[in-house]
Amino acid sequence: MYHPNNYSSANDIAKLCYHTMKIPLFRDVVKTVDREAASITYPGHIYRWKNTNKLLGNDPSCTGIKTGITWAAGPCLAASMRRDNYHICIVILASCSPDSRWYEIPKLVNWGVKKMQKIKTS
């Protein structure tokens, strides 16, 4: 993850999101808000996972994907949203703060939908 030749652009990640969101199992996994599973090794123990994507569960148009923070890229979010018959993948790298991602993505999606509708009706 920290190798100098390991880098991706927002465009690279958006392309990856576009292709992986075509896979039904992937879509089901990335939209999961929380999950529980019983341990096979430790009977009676339940493992619990909670998705760190705060848009899931708070914005009905959000269909998931991936959050992340690294030293090099800062707070990031690859998000998928459905609005006005569009399915949009948006990627933010090096967000101003971890919390600003949750406000930036919906604004970008709104902007994108307006631009696509403008092109569509032109």
What are the pLDDT digits (tens) for 58-112? 999 999 999 999 888 899 999 999 998 899 999 999 999 999 999 999 999 999 9
Q: Name all contacts of 7-13 with Cβ < 8 Å and 24+ positions apart.
A: 7/72, 9/93, 10/91, 10/92, 10/93, 11/91, 13/78, 13/91, 13/93
What's domain 10-121's architecture? 3-Layer(aba) Sandwich (3.40)
| Distance from C-alpha of 80 to C-alpha of 105, rounded to nearest angstrom | 9
Q: For position 122, what pLDDT does the model report?
A: 67
E-assigned strands of 71-115? 74-83, 86-92
Model confidence at 117: pLDDT above 80? yes
Q: For position 119, what pLDDT does the model report?
A: 82
Supply the pTM of this predicted model: 0.84
Q: For position 6, what pLDDT does the model report?
A: 78
Domain coordinates of the chain in residue numbers? 10-121
